[in-house]
Amino acid sequence: MHISKKPIGFWSAVSMGVGSMVGAGIFALLGEASAISGSAVYISFIMGGIIALFSGYSMGKLGARYPSSGGIIEYLSQSYGVGFFTGTMGIMLYFSAIVSLSLVAKAFGNYAVTFFPSIAESQMWRNIFSIGIIILFVLINLKGVKDVAVWERITVVIKFLVLAGLSVTGIIYLNPVLLSPSYYPPPNDIFFSIAITFFAFEGFRVITNTAEDMPDPATTLPKAMLTAILLVMVLYVAIAFAVFGNLPVAKVIEAKDFALAEAALPIFGEIGFTVVALTALVATASSINANLYSVTNVTYQLAKDGELPAAFGKPIGHSREGLVISGVLIIILSLLFDLSEIAAIGSISILFVHTVTHIGHIKIITQTGGSFILVLIAAMLSFIAMTLAFVYVSQKSGHVAYILIGFILVASITEIALQKVAKREIKPRVA
């Protein structure tokens, strides 16, 4: 049985959520999102934030009622019982988390090479930096949750100071003409861009995995969830105004992998570029740290329920073997896909799991004390965003759609195989 020393308080939980969200999403995907929605990216960030807020409300209520390091896995089990469906969704969630982490690792590699002009175009060196940062934080997470929380508090302060400074200064000097609605793309493109921008918020789910390490999860978890999402939403919108108020859309798209650092050039010069690039390294590293912690708790819960091999739950250092296995899978995925593909796969997968989770919440809403209307809205918004993202991805990159279908099939086959190989002892859950 997991015994916590209760090191995660309100601000530590907020830091974990912010640290997970403010990573690759804003630093690496701004250029990708602007290629779809142009200077109207801020609208897409607002929409993504609203979806995240409703999802955060639903999961906050679930977490308050069922505090568990398994987070969403526990909520699915409470709603649907431990069985084939919950197991398949749990494995889908795990896949989504691994995909997300591979994107963050790639973003770290892309920014790291900007400090070495002679290797800036080398894909091999980008991969080396990506692999190196994953290995580093697997080792840090092996030391235990206390070191994870301390790192997050430090890095979140650094990120917020730099990004808030860039945003405020950028807004002061912005050119209103560059933000004119006359430059906006068709409305459907703005909606489609949620396929990219929601990914910048999906890390808020990490907070659900801190519940067992909280002294008072019933009060702390919901407040931390909504606080983290609101802070990040305001920050993203401010950054979008600062960037697109100082750079033409074409320039942002051209910079692509390091668009945010490029936006600092006209405001602060080369020093600004360097500072933002350094902050990007800290931010993506922070995101990897927070998400590895979350993934380890998810795999532990899945292994405990018999939905992943028992090896994932075995102790190693101050963590679980699932941490090391996940690190290897993240490295493999980071070598296989590009940023936009990873973002689309991650967004659609997690929105699918969120939709299922909110629908399950409706089944047990009398136990959580949540609002039926708000949870229903959360389910509907997640489903609509998932559908829009899937339609866009299918039009632009057909093989990504096949990968998503493959994920579902692999998750189902894995669950069937595990049920046949091992006799699971399903203990009744106490409501």
pLDDT of residue 314: 73
Distinct helix (H) and strand (E) counts, the chain: 19, 2
In CATH, what number is assigned to the domain containing residue 157?
A: 1.20.1740.10
Q: Is residue 221 a contact partner of residue 208, using CB atoms and an 8 Å limit?
A: yes
Res 23: pLDDT: 66
Confidence class of residue 249 from pLDDT cuts 50, 70 and 90?
confident
Q: What is the pLDDT of residue 145?
A: 55
For residue 407, the enclosing domain spans: 16-420
pLDDT of residue 5: 52
Burial 172-187 (b: 16+ CB within 10 A, else e): eebeeeebeeeebbee
pLDDT at 47: 93
Residue 194 lies in a domain: yes
Q: For residue 9, is it within any domain?
A: no
* Residue 296 maps to a domain: yes
Model confidence at 169: pLDDT above 60: yes
Each residue's pLDDT tens digit, 370-385: 999 999 999 999 999 8
On the question of pLDDT at 316 being above 80, the answer is: no
Distance of CA 312 to the CA centre of its chain: 21
Assigned domain for 431 exists: no
3-state secondary structure of 406: helix
- Output the pTM of the full model: 0.80
Which residue did the predictor score with more confidence, 48 or 3?
A: 48
Helix axes 145-172, 217-244, angle to 10 degrees: 30
Tens-place pLDDT, residues 213-232: 777 888 888 899 999 999 99
Total count of residues recorded for the chain: 431
Q: Say if 7 falls within a structural domain.
A: no
Tell me how far apart the alpha carbons of residues 174 and 371 are, in angstroms, rounded to a whole number: 41
> Above 50 in pLDDT, residue 293?
yes
- Local confidence band at 246 (pLDDT 50, 70, 90 cut-offs): confident
Number of structural domains (the chain) is 1
Residue 140 confidence (pLDDT) above 70: yes
Q: How many CB atoms are located within 10 Å of the residue 247 CB?
A: 26
Which residues are registered as beta bridge partners of 315?
320
Percentage of the chain exceeding pLDDT 90: 18
State the Cα–Cα distance between residues 364 and 410, nearest whole angstrom: 29
Residue 43 confidence (pLDDT) above 90: yes
The reply to whether 10 falls in a domain is no
Strand ranges in 35-110 using DSSP code E only, listed in sequence order:
none
Determine, yes or no, domain membership for 215: yes
Nearest to 20 by CA among 71, 67, 64, 68: 71
In a domain, 429, yes or no: no
